[in-house]
Amino acid sequence: MYNLNRRLLLGLGLSAAAVGLAGCGDDGGGTDEPVASEDIPKSGTITVWCWDPAFNLYSMKEAEKVYQKTSPDVKLNIVETPWDDVQTKLTTIAQSKAFDQLPDIFLCQNNAFQKNVENYPDLFADFGSSGIKYDEFPEGVVGYSKFDDKNWGCPFDNGTAVNALRTDILEQAGFTVEDFTDITWTDFIAKGKEVLGKTGKGLMSGEVGSPDILSIMLQSAGGSFFTEDGKANLKDNEKLIKSLEAYRDIVAAKIFTQVNSWDEYIATFINSKVGGVINGVWILGSVQTAKDQSGKWAVTNIPKLDGVDGATNYSANGGSSWAITPKDNKVLAADFLAKTFAGSKELYETILPKAGALANWIPAADSAVYKEPQEYFGGDAIYSKVVDYAQKVPAMAPGAYYYEARDAVAAAIPKIIAGGDIKAALEEAHKTLEFAMN
């Protein structure tokens, strides 16, 4: 579902445009008085850009049904638009100033959100007068689409990191999933080596040089590739250094299977080559394609870094948020999102079982649907568990140049794995990132 997250480069070559159109509110998003109900249009068509028919388009169609129960004359025009096309269209519209070509709502990957707002302010409206209660979303998720003290996005799907493990493989080595809950990476490596020795299977896999696991480690301690004011923060970054040390140790312990492509990565756990996977919760959709493994998986939290101030067992990878544009329909668009993706348990109860769309909206966790036992995962109510995890993910400074930072660090990983000096590799990566930012 989100493998494109790590493959696409934004390629935003424009300098930041002058701030032109105003957003929905004058102050920080979510702090303004909501628009009075009598001022919200009772009819109209909202145009939406998003990708993935079985996931995002389906969810938006269900949201339309929910909204029409109180606003029957409001309709959606949902245009399937792959993420790379969304990004290209935004760039083209910003260059040409053809603002009439914008939709009213579009989906934006979380890690690309801030850069788009910073570079293309004319394409976004903020949510200040929407009535969305941002304290009903995890702080770490809200931070992705927050810029200049305003909220520019309505969080949608959940990218909370999970540690999914094959209970039958653990059992062969004398372990249970509880033995891998609330542990450190040192504990994980030691137990993982025991599992490997007794079963021949490691507990993790990933693409060679991919910074996914590293990024998950870093955020779990509240670390970032950037400072709070958006500057590059790769060299002398102690949390990043500790994350790289742990990553290097995992590979050295041979409990981490490295492959060359996304398809090979999926195959490692589908074909039982490894006994576990750590990634965003969306990876569970791929896990469950192995029908013969039903009942043999369990979900717990991820390991935390040893000896790091602020280290937790919680992190995230991926996810997306809805943006609104400063067109005439912005008030209606904001109200639609406030009453559906930021206000409807009914919506999330519908899209979870049918599309696997797990909410970031915290009240959804109280739903009976979220509390239902999942047979595939040993009867555990994993969805309410993951929403609980999401609330514990540390906030971080995502930075507008997140993808450039990932690329710079990704280039350093093979050198470090080969025995290179971590600080020297990060010094080089830091210079590469600064060059890209400037």
Q: Of the ranges 8-17, 271-280, 348-357, which one carries the lowest mean pLDDT score?
A: 8-17
Q: Rounded to whole angstroms, how far apart are CA atoms 312 and 317?
A: 15
Q: Tell me the average pLDDT across 404-419.
A: 94
Contact between residue 390 and residue 138 where contact means Cβ atoms under 8 Å apart: yes
* Alpha-carbon torsion (324, 326, 328, 330), positive or negative: positive
What does the pLDDT look like over 352-406, one tens digit per residue? 988 888 889 999 988 889 999 999 999 999 999 999 999 999 988 878 898 899 9
Q: Rounded to whole angstroms, how far apart are CA atoms 302 and 63?
A: 32
Fill in the DSSP letter of residue 55: I
Q: Rounded to whole angstroms, how far apart are CA atoms 196 and 29?
A: 49
Beta bridge partners of 45: 75
Q: Does pLDDT of 23 surpass 60?
A: no
Q: Which amino acid is at 273?
A: K
Contact between residue 199 and residue 229 where contact means Cβ atoms under 8 Å apart: no
Q: Which amino acid is at 104?
A: D
Q: Tell me the average pLDDT across 44-72.
A: 96
The pLDDT value given to residue 30: 40
What are the residues whose beta carbons fall under 8 Å from the beta carbon of 430, sequence distance 6 or more?
232, 234, 235, 408
Residue given tokens 């520019």 in the structure block: 152
Q: Does pLDDT of 407 surpass 60?
A: yes
Q: Tell me the average pLDDT across 276-302.
A: 94
What does the pLDDT look like over 100-156, one tens digit per residue? 999 999 999 998 999 899 999 999 999 998 999 999 999 889 988 998 899 999 999
* 32 band by pLDDT with thresholds 50, 70 and 90: low
**pLDDT > 70 fraction of the chain, expressed in percent and rounded:** 92
The token pair at 129 is 């007068």
Work out the mean pLDDT of the chain and round it to a whole number: 90
The pLDDT value given to residue 438: 86
The token pair at 369 is 């649907």
What secondary structure, in 3-state letters, does 163-207 show?
EEEEHHHHHHCCCCHHHHCCCEHHHHHHHHHHHHHHHCCECEEEE
The pLDDT value given to residue 354: 82
Give the pTM: 0.82
The pLDDT value given to residue 44: 97
Degrees, nearest 5: CA angle 115-309-253: 90
The pLDDT value given to residue 344: 97
Q: Does pLDDT of 185 surpass 50?
A: yes
CB atoms within 10 A of CB 60: 23
Picking from 16, 21, 18, 27, the residue whose alpha carbon sits closest to that of residue 127 is: 27
Residue given tokens 């919200």 in the structure block: 40
Fill in the DSSP letter of residue 374: B
Taking each helix axis from N to C end, the angle separating 422-437 and 238-252, rounded to the nearest 10 degrees, works out to: 120
Degrees, nearest 5: CA angle 71-72-76: 90
Taking each helix axis from N to C end, the angle separating 402-417 and 422-437, rounded to the nearest 10 degrees, works out to: 160
Degrees, nearest 5: CA angle 104-105-106: 130
Domains of the chain in start order, with CATH, are 3-158+318-369 (3.40.190.10), 161-315+396-437 (3.40.190.10)
The pLDDT value given to residue 33: 67
